[in-house]
Amino acid sequence: MDYENKEPRQEIIDVPTFYYVEEKKKPKKKKSIILMVVILVSALIGGVISSYVMPVYVFGKLIPYPKNYFGPDVKQIINVEPQNTEFLISAVAKKAIPSVVGITTKSIERDFFFGTRTTKGLGTGVVVDERGYILTNAHVVNNGNVEEVNVLFDDGKKKAAKILWSDPALDLAVIKVDGVKVKPADLGDSDKLQVGEVAVAIGNPLGMEFEKTVTSGIISGLNRSVSINSHETIENLIQTDASINPGNSGGPLLNAKGEVIGINTAKIQSGEGLGFAIPINIAKPIVDQFIEKGEFRKVYMGIKGVDLAVFERYMGTDLSADKGVYVAEVSKNSPASRGGLHSADIIIGMDDKEITNMSQLVRTLYRYRPGDTVTVKIIRDGEEKSLKIKLEKIPKK
């Protein structure tokens, strides 16, 4: 066979062709919205659990609080016990009002140009003993310079009273009525007061047509000083935002138990929500002596003193202390002389109380009774010393 002229046989292989077409998928809007809703709901539930359920129902009850849960600077957790105060103010008022009285006065003033004229005054007081002892402000009874004092009681009765004691330095006075059945108020402890406590004031603001007005607030501050005039300051006052107006003077400032913690005494007319009261613990020794003995005898040191700043200014000198009382004279055979106090000593303290001026020394002495021994801190020749002085009652003239 002739193979040379034959062309080689070619096999045709059928190769299938594949086409890859890339299709653009349409976004699944419905599923995306559902997913977003699920995410938001999950976040909301998680927030509620972490911020409310866990702190309130889980942490501290089922499991302990995580470390530093309240921040790295918190050392302890103070639990505040809520109290039901819905009827607190009305309960305090109901308890105290029978012990609150109105006080009216009549004074005769003599003037060189205008002759004699009669002035009337109005204030408030609080009954402190069932025998008719009433505590009020000294300025309510015109510092004792009145012709007539009358007391108006809760039952509508009116009774004449007599002034037993009054001191403008403390702005306190004690008056007494006889032959009337009265209910004394409970006296609290003003040394235990804290800023933020409930405070209730009762008085007769702006006249008897508003008698027994009750106002409430809180203790806004402690140990405040208020200038009465250019040379007189009342110190150690309680500040409250319970509304106090003219006529409230002498009325009680009460705590949540209905106890008297202060005697309302002043209001800064240029400010709002600023009322002041004398702490009841200043008046307690005075009240107690009247209750026990029917009289009050102020304790006696036996010195004549002057504010250190006044002495330095007058003498043109500069002594070793910054403030205090310069002892100008010590009376013979007095508690001060027997305790070793000398003239030219500077009194800077009495027990735990700092003494900065003569007015403060006088007020501090009211804390004590005859027979009490006090530690008087002095500076003598630039050196600080402590002396023990046994106080006595002022000798009768």
Query: Where are the domains positioned within the chain?
Result: 90-176, 190-293, 299-393
CATH for 90-176 (3.40.50.1860, 2.60.40.10, 2.40.10.10, 2.70.98.50): 2.40.10.10
Active site residue 171: yes
139 is catalytic: yes
Residue 354 token pair = 């700092």
CATH H-level superfamily of 299-393: PDZ domain (2.30.42.10)
In the chain, the amino acid numbered 300 is Y
Asked if residues 263 and 135 have their Cβ atoms less than 8 Å apart, the reply is yes
> What does the pLDDT profile of the chain (397 residues) look like in tens digits?
444 444 444 444 444 444 444 444 555 555 667 777 767 767 667 665 666 555 555 555 555 655 554 455 544 434 444 455 558 899 999 999 999 999 999 888 777 676 777 888 889 999 999 999 999 999 999 988 888 999 999 888 899 999 999 988 888 999 999 988 899 999 999 989 999 999 999 998 766 666 788 999 999 999 888 776 666 677 789 999 988 887 888 999 999 999 999 999 866 655 667 889 999 998 998 898 888 888 887 888 999 999 888 888 888 888 878 889 999 999 999 999 999 999 999 999 999 889 988 878 888 888 888 889 999 999 998 899 999 999 988 776 5
**Strand, helix or coil at 359?**
helix
Given the residues 99, 139, 220, 345, select the one marked as catalytic. 139
- Active-site pick, 99, 216, 243, 249: 249
pTM of the predicted model, to two decimals?
0.68
Using an 8 Å Cβ cutoff, are 297 and 396 in contact? no
Same CATH topology for 190-293 and 299-393: the answer is no
Q: What is the pLDDT of residue 344?
A: 92
Catalytic residue (choose from 171, 243, 307, 345):
171
* Superfamily name with CATH number, domain 190-293: Trypsin-like serine proteases (2.40.10.10)
pLDDT of residue 178: 92
- Quote the distance between the C-alpha of residue 123 and its chain's center: 22
Quote the pLDDT of residue 57: 55
| CA atoms of 111 and 105, how far apart (whole Å) | 19
Q: What is the pLDDT of residue 85?
A: 57
